[in-house]
Amino acid sequence: MHLKLAHILSKNILFRAQQALREATRCFPNSCQLCGIETHDILCAECVNQFFTANQPNSFSRCQICALPVLRQSTTCGTCINKPPAFDATFVACDYSAPLDQLILSLKFGHRLALAPMMARLMAQSIQAAPNTSWPDVIIPVPLSKERLA
């Protein structure tokens, strides 16, 4: 009985500490990790709209399996039709190109853990936005090859 109460209290204390930390970060200025203007989040609203909105003028259709660009009327690329991969779908939050590639590299190799909640939120939004898709059974990161790790 005492152990269960202690567990509930510790979860409550942790929740309140997280709330206090979120409120404290709103009091201190921060700069957008892409453009550098003052904001209270990791990225400013303009950068989020420019790089992470699906309605961008240059947005394109993606293969439902590998997520590579395809013609607008297509849903699957020729490679995935000819030789289907061992997975069902790929979800992307953004293209791995400048300047967004630097955010990913900063998180992955630069120990910028403050980027992780934003990246997780963007990935969750990309999964939810995919048509006729339910949450995947497994979400895995793409690991480094042994050569890249060395």
Q: Is residue 33 part of a domain?
A: no
Q: Is residue 18 part of a domain?
A: no
Q: Is residue 125 part of a domain?
A: yes
Provide the domain count of the chain.
1
0.75 cut: is pTM over it?
no
Q: Is residue 81 part of a domain?
A: yes
Q: Is residue 105 part of a domain?
A: yes
Domain of residue 101 covers 43-149
Q: Is residue 127 part of a domain?
A: yes
Q: Is residue 13 part of a domain?
A: no
Q: Residue 134: count other Cβ atoms within 10 Å of its Cβ.
A: 8
pLDDT digits (tens, 9 = 90+) for 88-135: 888 888 888 889 999 989 988 888 888 888 888 888 888 888 777 777
